[in-house]
Structure 1
Amino acid sequence: MRTKKQWFFLILKIVIILIIVLIGSVYFFRDTLLQQALDKAKNKFNTEYNSDFNVGSAKFLGTTGVELNNITLIPHEADTLLSVQKIKTEVSLLQLLTGDVQLNNLEMQNGFIQLVKNENGKNFDAFLKKEKNEEKTNDKRDYAKLVNRILNKLLNLVPAQMNLTNLSLRINDMDKKVQFHMDDLKLVNNELDTQIKVTTNTFSQNWNIKGYANPRDKKADLLFASGDTSKIQVPYIDERFGLKSSFDKIRLKLDNLDMSFGKLHIDGVASIENFTINHPKIAKKDVVIKNAQFDYRFLLGSDFIAIDSTSEAQLNKIKVKPYLEYNTEEDTVYSLKLNIDTMKAQDFITSLPDGLFSHFVGMEAEGEFDYKLNFQFNKNKPNKLIFDSKFNKHNLRIVKYGDANLEKLNTEFTYRAIENGVLQRPIFVGASNPNFTPLELISPYLKHAVLTNEDPSFMRHRGFISEAFKQSIAKNIRTKKFSRGASTISMQLVKNVFLTREKTLSRKLEEILLVYILENNRIASKERMLEVYFNVIEWGPNVYGIGEAAEFYFQKKPIDLTLNECLYLASIVPKPKKFMYQFNEEGNQKSYAEKNQKFIKNLMLRRGLITSDDTIGQSIPIYVSGRARSYLRIKVVQDTIAIDSTASVSDFDF
């Protein structure tokens, strides 16, 4: 009879023999198991991804090596997604059995991956859908799980060691084509070194990519630079959006990618040198950012995507700590917080991107400042928008102005409007111009009417009206375009005198900064600003200044204008070149125009700017008597006389 010890060794021998037999069987039947794994993959692609996955031949090389030939992945009724002549890699038998394949020591030859979007749809749509076994707690998309799944799938396809020969990534978006072709790409001991030829419909160039890449530890540090020119051109977006861009170098670093407690953390660094962009809606010339770096901390949850406040963005010497969040937990809420710690004003000026703030070139400043912004927009509650902007200055003053010399407002100067890039006739703002009108010689009715219609708090604010700005932002977000501005008279004045009327990001940013400097440094009095404003703004086609306007419409001096005439002039300031559309074929104002002027008048009455006595005798309709009358589309009515055919010439009294 066997002892317990003997039984133990007997069972151990049997287990060892079974393991050896199992390993031997697996090794002996490994090609069969490989084929079964491929069949399983083929069935999964067909049922879950609506695609045909085919391998011409497959075999094991040694114990873990696998060689596949003539591999294709073709979505049903769509363009081929993948085609490769030969693949050699190492795959564990366990991964083949589970279907969760992770590539190692990859060699690929002669093939391509292509992403196609055309009138029939996208050939990669099916691969972005949710997994069937993913837990569904609500109807909302889980951002953390979605991004984590996509990133892990991509990283599993990146082997720890690889050698790729004659391979291409092709993108075709409605015939906007980009191809990234690699003759030879090597990743050895986590070191990547390759040259990629980039070809689009508009250009062709070579890129060098070098650095560290460890897909298993989810870490990387890569440097992109040009292989044949001084700058890398960014493909696709030039054709897709008309945005031309280029750069010297880009560094992309991934330090951490971790999913824990239902949240996805993505940390790293991105930097760029001499980034150049050109788009007509940004600026009329190249905008150059010499050095920029973003130490990012992305955080994704089931119902939010955020850039954490520990992130830091640096533009030359400007350092900004941002917080950005898109949250769908209850309502769709957009949040943005910016924090600039105390910095030198001159460092800020010299750090502004070249081409974006051309009027600030040569400006010098002393002192320091800090800035904080808190912005929140609830899509379902747009009227509860939060916009809190705080600029704190510390002994800040402008020592020298750049191209936009704001001190000019206090002197006589020549103003020339720019229409569609063309300089208009010069208008001299000073006493030698017979049409120049000092503020005290402008009808008080007109001053009150224009301020009421354009900027009621002009004499009190410092360049901006926060509530109007909030409403403007809310409407622009709702309409997804710049459908409403929040322009004050200060902003209109700066735009007219120092800038152009072009609708670009550059012009708007310069306008905001110049207005802040003008108003908060008290460079010109409110009265002088208003005087210049009345004498330079456009009041009609080639009509500039109130002196010309009063003559053009009513053959009067500005001081002699009636209340009704002033209400009319105030109403056309927003669209002066379209004044003629306020009138009908009889030369009388249309009802909507009269209602608009009545609205302005009632506001003036409620605010005590005029009294009921001022309105006496002002019910007479507006009559345009000056040169402006020739612009009205007045229908000429010809009186006709019926003549009796039997009458003679003598019957008529001449």
Structure 2
Amino acid sequence: MKNEKQKAFLFLKIFGGLLLLGLLLLFAFRNTILDKVIHRIDAKLERDYQCTLTIQKAEFHGLTNIEFQNISLVPKKADTLVQISKLKTNVSFWKLIIGDIQLGKLEINKGFIQLVKTKNGSNFDAFLHSKKEKDENAEVNYAKLLNRISSKLMDLIPTDMQVNGFAFKINDKGNKVIFDFNQLVLNDKKLTTIIQVTADNFSQQWSINGFADPRDRKADLTFANAENDTIKIPYLDKKFNLKTGFKSIHFNMENLAIESGKLHIDGYSSIENLFVNHAKIASKDVVIKNARFDYHWIVGERFIALDSTSTLQLNNIKCQPYLSYTNEKDKVYRLLLKIPKMKAQDFITSLPTGLFRHFEGMQAQGNFSYGLNFEFNNHKPNDVVFESKLKPEGLKINKYGEADLNKINGEFVYRAIDKGILQRPILVGASNPNFTSLSSISPYLQKCVLTSEDPSFMTHRGFINEAFKQSIAKNIRTKKFSRGASTISMQLVKNVFLTREKTLSRKLEEILLVYILENNRISSKERMLEVYFNIIEWGPNVYGIGEASQFYFQKRPSDLNVNECLFLATIIPSPKKFMYRFDATNQLKPSVKQQETFLTKLMFRRAILTTNDTIDNFPLSISGPAKLFLKQKTTVIDSEDTPVEEFEF
């Protein structure tokens, strides 16, 4: 027994001696090892990224403190990417032993990172492309991957940091911005930052302050203007014609940890007085006074989800979102959105200023709740789920804003907008000799237009869920907005109450106004259809069926035959190009006849037309002023090249 203890003690002494000897050797040759590591990194950067790493001096002070002087990273035939005069840091010895790098204290004096892009390329191109081939069949555990990446990043953030005279520069073909870190201090988990931001005719001082603990993976930071003014974001205005800014942003991360094989990320973000200005969004500044996002992300082996316990608040509008992406046999995307019961007036006053200008001043009573269910499977695109349900309780509009929906029931003046130019006024009412009541419009035209534009107009409430589903499926499948789901109600609201500007603002207003118009029964379906027939464009400077029937056929709308009605219905998508539907002999091209035949058969199949309706249906003959456009047509497009609108029902 004694011999065994002696042997164990001897073994421990030998092991301790060897460990001590190893540490002494490591200490003695630490600078040599550091040089070899730097050379290995330099070789990798040269091989994989065509960059040269230069470090004039690199040495250990003690066992864990390292000092670098005059560091530079220069891509071949490009501007310097990184330059640092002096960098001091210390690393965790035990982490270093197992091959990990965990930074403790970090000091940086004078230097910059600059991203330069010219017409010939950029100095960071090589870093945008992975050099390793990916095995598409290899399965990736999302939770482990994201946890590993976040751990590496957190380890590279020092627990104590002091940066002086360091700048981040952007030069995108002459569009320059400099973020100069006049002060960046992380001490005892408290972060203090002052950043001088400079661009053409622009100068501001930003600050990021708060709590930051990279080892415990927690943070609570506030991003604001050091002078308590609005932060304006440079670069984006010249690059994307986007003007944006905010008063302050608050970011909080409370938890980032693996639990039961899943990565959980918890916290919240809020923003105050956000403004955005872009021609594709709205015609003026869009302002959100207060917004907050309380998030709980869950990352599993093959899925990423925003848990339903998360909340999103926009002024007084609160909703509960659920987002998920699952990548197993199929890729499945899902969105659930729930707005619990709230006052309609609170909803209206909470809408972002500038995004819903036609709603400004609107007053409503009652409550409503809303739910959205969307699901898309990439292997079953036609089985897309789209369910949108709004549940009103005593909902009523007491006062309209700029868009007074009641005007549709009386006589009013309509002015189309073409390419931003206001067109001549059209009086919609009996005082206009060209105005045609619905009863005086050929029933064939009503049937043709409804079949081609909106078959269920008389029964739906502004929207067709099935059309939305088909539209979404096709747009995702083609990866572009190749098909819309516009109803006659939507076209009517867009033309009568809104502009034709292609902005997010107009589309959102259109959706809300259509719902109000249809579900509050402000106007009858017959009146809506009557107005529609009297305002839509039917040719160059031709508005309404009264003008159109004379322009093409020198007839009253009540006298139009089936062929004439088919022609008028099929040119609605592109009325100014009607002349290109005819060949050199002024006969309808074969592709156009095929389109009209398709529409006719569809109407026969649905029993909208009968064989008796086609008796005395004479061939199409353009006899009105439209003949001049046929004569003036200088370019004849072959039937194969003529764009023909598709009918999808």
Q: Cα deviations across residues 210-258 of structure 1 (Å, max 9, x unaligned)?
A: 1111111111111111235732123444344332211111111111222
What letter matches 1:577 in structure 2? K
Q: Which residue matches 1:371?
A: 370
Determine helix, strand or coil for the equivalent of 1:267. strand
Query: Which residue number in structure 2 is paired with residue 508 of structure 1?
Result: 507
Secondary structure, counterpart of 2:631 in structure 1: coil
- CA distance 1:172–1:38, shift in 2 (3 Å): farther
Matches within 5 A, 1:141-220: 142-171=141-170, 177-200=176-199, 203-220=202-219
Match of 1:628 in 2: 626
Q: Equivalents in 2 of 1:266, 1:21: separation in Å?
A: 44
Structure 2 gap segments, 5+ residues each: 635-649
Cα–Cα, structure 1 residues 121 and 261, in superposed 2: closer, same or farther, change >3 Å?
farther
Between 1:448-457 and 1:196-205, the stretch displaced more is 196-205
Quick one: structure 1 residues 8 and 259, their matched pair in 2 at CA, closer, same or farther if it must change by over 3 Å?
closer
Query: 1:300 deviation in Å?
Result: 2.8
Structure 1 counterpart SS, 2:369: strand
**Alignment of structure 1 residues 5-404 onto 2, 5 Å:** 29=28, 32-44=29-41, 46-47=43-44, 50=49, 52-62=52-62, 64-74=64-74, 80-115=80-115, 123=124, 138-140=137-139, 142-171=141-170, 177-200=176-199, 203-228=202-227, 230-260=229-259, 262-404=261-403
Of stretches 436-445 and 9-18 in structure 1, the one that deviates more from structure 2 is 9-18
Q: Is the Cα contact below 8 Å between 1:35 and 1:58 reproduced in 2? A: no
CA contact (8 A) 1:243 1:279 kept: yes
Question: By how many angstroms is 1:501 displaced?
Answer: 1.1
Instruction: Say which is worse superposed, 453-462 or 84-93, in terms of deviation.
Output: 84-93
Q: Check whether the contact 2:80–2:123 (CA below 8 A) recurs between aligned residues.
A: no
1:551-587 deviation per Cα after TM superposition (whole angstroms, max 9, x unaligned): 1111111111122211111111121111111122222
Structure 1 residue 362: Cα displacement? 0.8
- Could you tell me how far 1:92 is from its partner in structure 2? 3.7
Deviations 1:373-395, CA, capped at 9 Å, x for gaps: 11112233221111111111111
1:585-616: per-residue Cα shift (whole Å, max 9, x none)? Answer: 22222222222222222222222223211101
Q: Note closer, same or farther for the CA distance 1:425–1:57 as it changes in structure 2 (3 Å cut).
A: same
CA contact (8 A) 1:90 1:103 kept: yes
Matched, 1:541 2:540: yes
Deviations 1:108-133 (A, max 9, x none): 1011234566755773755985999x
Q: Does the C-alpha gap of structure 1 residues 635 and 228 become closer, same or farther in structure 2, counting only changes over 3 Å?
A: closer
C-alpha displacement of 1:317: 0.7
Give the match for residue 642 of structure 2.
none
Q: Cα offset for 1:515?
A: 0.6
Contact residue 416 and residue 422 of structure 2 kept, 8 A: yes
Q: Given the alignment of the two structures, is residue 465 of structure 1 paired with residue 464 of structure 2, yes or no?
A: yes
Contact map agreement 2:92 2:103 (CA 8 A) in 1: no
Change (3 A) 1:86 1:627: same
One-letter amino acid matched to 1:508 = K
SS in 1 for 2:159: coil
Of 214-223 and 122-131, the range deviating more from structure 2 = 122-131
Deviation of 1:203 (Å)? 3.8
In 2, Cα distance between equivalents of 1:442 and 1:97: 88
Alpha carbons of structure 1 residues 556 and 54: separation in structure 2 relative to 1, 3 Å: same
Asked if structure 1 preserves the Cα contact closer than 8 Å seen for 2:92 and 2:104, the reply is: no
SS for the counterpart of 2:265 is strand
Aligned equivalents of 2:130, 2:42: Cα separation in 1: 13
For residue 403 of structure 1, report the CA deviation from its aligned partner: 0.9
Contact 1:451 1:458 in 2 (8 A): yes
Give the direction of change, closer, same or farther, for the CA distance of 1:332–1:454 in structure 2 (3 Å limit). Answer: same
Deviation at 1:486, TM superposition (A): 0.8
Contact 1:42 1:52 in 2 (8 A): no
Q: Which has the larger displacement, 623-632 or 595-604?
A: 595-604
Shift of 1:513: 0.6
Identity %: 55
Unpaired runs of at least 5, structure 1: 637-654
Letter in 1 for 2:30: L
Residue of structure 1 in register with 2:641 after alignment: none
The structure 1 segments of at least 4 consecutive aligned residues displaced by more than 6 Å after TM superposition are: 2-22
Question: Partner of 1:610: helix, strand, or coil?
Answer: coil
Residues of 2 paired with 1:200 and 1:480: CA distance? 36
Instruction: Please report the TM-score for the alignment, with normalisation by the length of structure 1.
Output: 0.88
After superposition, the Cα gap between the structure-2 partners of 1:595 and 1:304, relative to the gap in structure 1 and judged at 3 Å, is same
1:571 matched residue in structure 2:
570
C-alpha distance in 1 between matches for 2:598 and 2:25: 93
Give the CA deviation at 1:548.
Answer: 1.1
1:432 aligns with 2:422: no
Per-residue CA distance 1:310-341 (angstroms, 9 max, x = gap): 21111101111112223332223322111111
Counterpart of 2:517, as a letter, is: L
How far did 1:467 drift?
A: 1.2
Bigger shift: 420-429 or 216-225?
A: 420-429
1:649 aligns with none
Measure the CA separation in 1 of the matches of 2:3 and 2:330. 72
Q: In the aligned structure 2, how far is the partner of 1:310 from the partner of 1:328?
A: 22
Write the letter of the residue equivalent to 1:632: L
Partners in 1 of 2:481 and 2:517 — Cα distance?
25
Q: Quick one: structure 1 residues 359 and 39, their matched pair in 2 at CA, closer, same or farther if it must change by over 3 Å? A: same
Whichever residue aligns with residue 180 of structure 2, its letter is H
Shift of 1:260: 4.6
| Cα distance in 2, alignment partners of residues 211 and 72 from structure 1 | 31
What amino acid is aligned across from residue 82 of structure 1 in structure 2? V
Q: Following the alignment from structure 2 to structure 1, what is the Cα–Cα distance between the partners of residues 521 and 53?
A: 72
Q: CA deviation at 1:505?
A: 0.9
Which AA in structure 2 matches 1:490? Answer: S
Deviates more, 1:32-41 or 1:203-212: 32-41
Q: Pick closer, same or farther for the CA change 1:531–1:127 going to 2, 3 Å.
A: closer
Q: Give SS of 1:633's match.
A: helix
Structure 1 residue aligned with 2:609 = 610
Distance 1:390 1:354 in 2: 25
> Could you list the per-position Cα deviations for residues 522-542 of structure 1 after superposition, in whole angstroms to 9, with x for gaps in the alignment?
111111111111111111111
Q: How far apart are the structure 2 equivalents of 1:232 and 1:5?
A: 71
Query: Structure 1 residues 142, 129: closer, same or farther in 2, change over 3 A?
Result: farther
For residues 92 and 438 of structure 2, what CA distance do their matches in structure 1 show?
87
Q: Secondary structure at the match of 2:36?
A: helix
Give distance in 1, aligned partners of 2:104 and 2:192: 18
Q: Which secondary structure state, in structure 1, belongs to the residue aligned with residue 195 of structure 2?
A: strand
1:37 CA displacement: 3.1
- 1:488 is matched with 487
Aligned 8 A contact 2:34 2:59 in 1: no
CA separation in 2, counterparts of 1:92 and 1:187?
Answer: 18
User: TM-score, with normalisation over the residues of structure 2?
Assistant: 0.89
Count of matched residue positions in the alignment of Structure 1 and Structure 2 = 629
Q: Distance in 2 between matches of 1:340 and 1:571?
A: 41
The structure-2 alpha-carbon separation of the partners of 1:301 and 1:77, relative to structure 1 and needing over 3 Å to count, comes to farther
CA gap of 1:3–1:265, structure 2 versus 1, over 3 A, is: closer
- Find the aligned partners of 2:568 and 2:163 in 1 and give their Cα distance: 72
Are the aligned partners of 2:270 and 2:293 in contact in 1 as well (CA < 8 Å)? yes
Task: Provide the secondary structure at the position in 2 that maps to 1:492.
Answer: helix
- The 3-state SS of whatever aligns with 1:470 is helix
State the 1:24 CA deviation: 5.8
Which stretch of the first structure deviates more once superposed, 173-182 or 289-298? Answer: 173-182
